[in-house]
Structure 1
Amino acid sequence: MYIAGLDIGTTGCKCTVFDGDGHLLGKAYRDYPVRRAVGGHEIDISAMMDGVYGALSEMASRYPDIGGIGVTSFGETFVCVDGAGEPLHPAMLYTDPRGREECLELVRKIGEKKIAEITGLRPHEMYSISKIMWLKRNRPEVLEAARHILLMEDYVVFRLTGVAQIDYSLAARTMAFDIRKLCWSGEILEAAGVDEKLLSVPVPTGTIAGSLLASAAEKTGLRSDAQVVSVSHDQVSAAVGAGAFDASVAVDGAGTVECLTPVYDEIPDMDVMYQAVRPLV
């Protein structure tokens, strides 16, 4: 039996397959378009899923005994979907400039340091919650029709299994997740006017979502009993792959963006972290 890793990136997705001893057997890649304009940066989720199905199909045709698929993705970017998982709008990328005024509104309601204390993040419009607020204010019909608000990892997991769950590391990139209680922050969601029921259930990294839906198995050629796993934010996975397991090591990853990922033995002093990040205004 083989295991596969499926990584959802900003401009493309890749699927790698390993044997039981961890040896790389093969990989497939599919790219998809990103639209960047002055007013917004967006990705067509349908095109992204076509890429996901294509990469999985290629690997399934070469390695039909894939028994498990771990899903990772980039952060912040989200999409509202209907009950069947169909997107209701183009997904707003983390680089999208919309949401700045909404982020400032959250700061006025809760306080910049309080948000940082809850989420571990200095407030910024790149995070999901500000953009969800923008969407609710400017396209209310989308939120009214939405049955789920999903980031890219949990979107793919949902389309493959029908289960809406998100791992802690990706949930933390929304700026609505309590990093101490490991749950959605009721205070932030209330201030943002976002219903927690729309968000996926937060779970630890490595939590199994379940086996493939019949429709997903048919589209990919994978075994119907293959298990899909919510793994993590892509930079967390990169840190693990680079061997960063304690506070003596940090990882510098260069891709669409450059990310420096340090490892902490415990939650650091938020006052110190707060001062190290450029303020919103």
Structure 2
Amino acid sequence: MLIAHDLGTTGNKATLVSNDGKMLAAKTVNYGADWGTDGRAEQNPHDWWDAVCRASRELLAETNTAGTDIDGVSFSGQMMGVVPLDSHGEPVRPAIIWADTRSTKETNTLLERVSMEDCYRITGHRLNPTYSLTKLMWLRENEPDNFAKTATFCLAKDYTAFKLTGVLATDPSDASSTNAYDQASGDWAWEIIDAAGLPHSLFPKIVPSTHVIGTVTAEAARATGLAEGTPVVIGGGDGPVAALGAGV
């Protein structure tokens, strides 16, 4: 059996699925967000992790399933955000989620250095303040102390996969939502990142969506009810994964 978590904007929906693809049970754990009048949209990454832990435990309990019966765990999740992490992997501030539009000034600054046409050619997206890249620029300009503490960043599903395994990575689908991913090379778009003036070290490694990034740690096993050593697949962003599931 498999457990899949979908970290949405209003909650985490977890499903228990048989190995032949049948959904056996589902559980949704809700969490809140900070919606500000200035375009602010933030969430606490710890709330995501708590929702993953609670949903996992409840799925196992309500179906009388042992943690050792789970063959793997994977994720989809909200895209285009920024979870800034310090050198110990702890969030330095709340996550800036997809709906946050405070980086309009930074977007205009980047447009002076990279044309909209070049950005679209490289990333497949228009430059827009909802994407991760200019949110990192906003953090640098408006919260320099927090930016100085930031060793790397990730997206929602990447953070919870990291909490399960201790391994930090992202996949191409979520990387493509940052406005900093080169669709042709399959790597970060260093030309655009350099134009934004951001250090390369901020950007995590990119692995295939089907990649087993690690296994459930002893600490995560105690928190979730899963068995230590359970494989964890990185998964993908919610939009591309939904399209795949719909047969597109």
Counterpart Cα distance in 1 of 2:212 and 2:65: 21
> Among residues 78, 81, 96, which one is paired with 2:82 in the alignment?
78
- With 154-163 and 190-199 compared, the bigger mean Cα shift is at 190-199
* Larger RCO: 1 or 2 (CA < 8 Å, sep 6+): 2
The answer to whether the Cα contact below 8 Å between 1:154 and 1:200 also exists between their aligned partners in 2 is: no
1:1-281 pair list within 5 angstroms = 2-39=1-38, 40-61=40-61, 62-64=64-66, 65-244=69-248
- SS class of match (2:134): helix
How far is 1:8 from its partner? 0.6
- SS class of match (1:54): helix
Give the AA of the match of 2:56.
L
The answer to whether the Cα contact below 8 Å between 2:6 and 2:76 also exists between their aligned partners in 1 is: yes
In structure 2, the CA distance between the partners of 1:63 and 1:199, relative to structure 1 (3 Å rule), is farther
How far is 1:174 from its partner? 0.2
Show CA shifts across 1:140-169 (max 9, x none). 111211222011121111111111111101
Gaps of 5+ in 2: none
Show CA shifts across 1:3-56 (max 9, x none). 111111011001101112211111111000011111211112122221111111
**Structure 1 runs, 4 residues or longer, greater than 6 Å off:** none
Give the AA of the match of 2:44.
D
The answer to whether the Cα contact below 8 Å between 1:119 and 1:176 also exists between their aligned partners in 2 is: yes
The number of residue pairs the alignment matches comes to: 243
Counterpart Cα distance in 2 of 1:9 and 1:25: 21
Show CA shifts across 1:235-280 (max 9, x none). 2121122122xxxxxxxxxxxxxxxxxxxxxxxxxxxxxxxxxxxx
The answer to whether the Cα contact below 8 Å between 2:217 and 2:229 also exists between their aligned partners in 1 is: no
Show CA shifts across 1:76-107 (max 9, x none). 01111123322111111211121111011111
- SS class of match (1:25): strand
The answer to whether the Cα contact below 8 Å between 1:119 and 1:179 also exists between their aligned partners in 2 is: yes
Counterpart Cα distance in 1 of 2:234 and 2:247: 20
Counterpart Cα distance in 1 of 2:187 and 2:34: 32
The answer to whether the Cα contact below 8 Å between 2:45 and 2:159 also exists between their aligned partners in 1 is: no
Counterpart Cα distance in 1 of 2:229 and 2:244: 27
How far is 1:123 from its partner? 1.0
Gaps of 5+ in 1: 245-281
How far is 1:231 from its partner? 1.3
The answer to whether the Cα contact below 8 Å between 1:3 and 1:19 also exists between their aligned partners in 2 is: yes
- SS class of match (1:26): strand
TM-score by structure 2 length?
A: 0.94
Pairwise CA RMSD: 1.2
How far is 1:136 from its partner? 0.6
- With 167-176 and 139-148 compared, the bigger mean Cα shift is at 139-148
Show CA shifts across 1:97-151 (max 9, x none). 2111101111101111111111000111110001110001111111211222011
Counterpart Cα distance in 2 of 1:213 and 1:10: 26
Counterpart Cα distance in 2 of 1:12 and 1:56: 14
Give the AA of the match of 1:74.
Q
Counterpart Cα distance in 2 of 1:158 and 1:223: 16
Give the AA of the match of 1:19.
S
